[in-house]
């Protein structure tokens, strides 16, 4: 399993980064990004802390990558904050999309896609226009394992297939039980109306993102 979207106690997760990494490795993960929730109030300290811990626990056979999930940012502020997070050393930038489970401001999906985040998380009722621009801007569209956010997986999968946009399967893990093994991940992909070949492509997309992030 390669997962580009997880959370530690540095935002609203249950585990310190070291334990999150350890539990992921035991679950069979080959690579992960820790992408805690960020805005202007914490992005600098968060990126510094995650960069330090991921460097310490990045070992042969396992890749840990520091990132952020920019969360509930007003659309007009998104471009500057994406740029700021990258300049501080966030190797993966996830945009908290317009999930059906939370009151995310309209226009958020498009703002993140235009800002060329790496992953648009749980994008909710994704539009054709957004999907086409995500393909053009090389933004991965998330199929998520997380309850609530996963309500729109089927729509996201169908549009991505229709328009040739790339996807990634992520857990959005906040607690130990949120991490999944490969078998469970494949079942989530199948449940979104996709197939095993889509799963393999998603894992290739995630692997490419994380490996390129630390070069």
pTM of the model: 0.98
pLDDT at 108: 98
The maximal CA–CA distance of the chain, rounded, in angstroms, is: 42
Could you tell me the domains of the chain? 2-213 (3.20.20.140)
pLDDT at 58: 85
What is the Cα–Cα distance from 184 to 177, expressed in whole angstroms?
12
Q: What is the 3-state secondary structure (H, E, C) of 187-209?
A: HHHHHCCCCHHHHHHHHHHHHHH
pLDDT at 144: 98
List the chain residues with pLDDT less than 50: none
pLDDT at 39: 98
* The token pair that represents 164 in the structure block: 């040739």
pLDDT at 119: 99
pLDDT at 215: 84
């Amino acid at each position: 399993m390669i997962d580009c979207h997880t959370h530690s106690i540095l935002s609203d997760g249950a585990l310190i980064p070291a334990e999150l990494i350890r539990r992921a490795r035991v679950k069979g993960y080959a690579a992960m990004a820790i992408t805690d929730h960020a805005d202007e109030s914490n992005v600098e300290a968060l990126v510094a802390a995650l960069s330090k811990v991921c460097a310490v626990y990045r070992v042969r056979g396992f890749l840990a990558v520091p990132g952020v999930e920019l969360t509930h940012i007003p659309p007009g502020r998104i471009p500057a904050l994406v740029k700021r997070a990258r300049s501080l050393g966030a190797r993966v930038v996830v945009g908290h999309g317009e999930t059906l489970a939370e009151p995310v401001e309209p226009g958020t999906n498009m703002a993140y896609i235009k800002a060329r985040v790496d992953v648009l998380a749980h994008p909710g009722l994704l539009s054709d226009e957004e999907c086409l621009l995500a393909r053009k801007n090389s933004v991965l569209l998330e199929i998520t394992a997380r309850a609530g956010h996963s309500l729109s997986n089927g729509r996201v999968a169908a549009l991505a297939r229709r328009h040739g946009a790339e996807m990634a399967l992520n857990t959005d893990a906040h607690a130990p039980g949120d991490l999944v093994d490969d078998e469970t991940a494949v079942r989530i992909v199948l449940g979104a109306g996709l197939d095993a070949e889509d799963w393999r492509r998603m894992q290739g997309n995630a692997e490419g993102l994380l490996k390129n992030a630390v070069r």
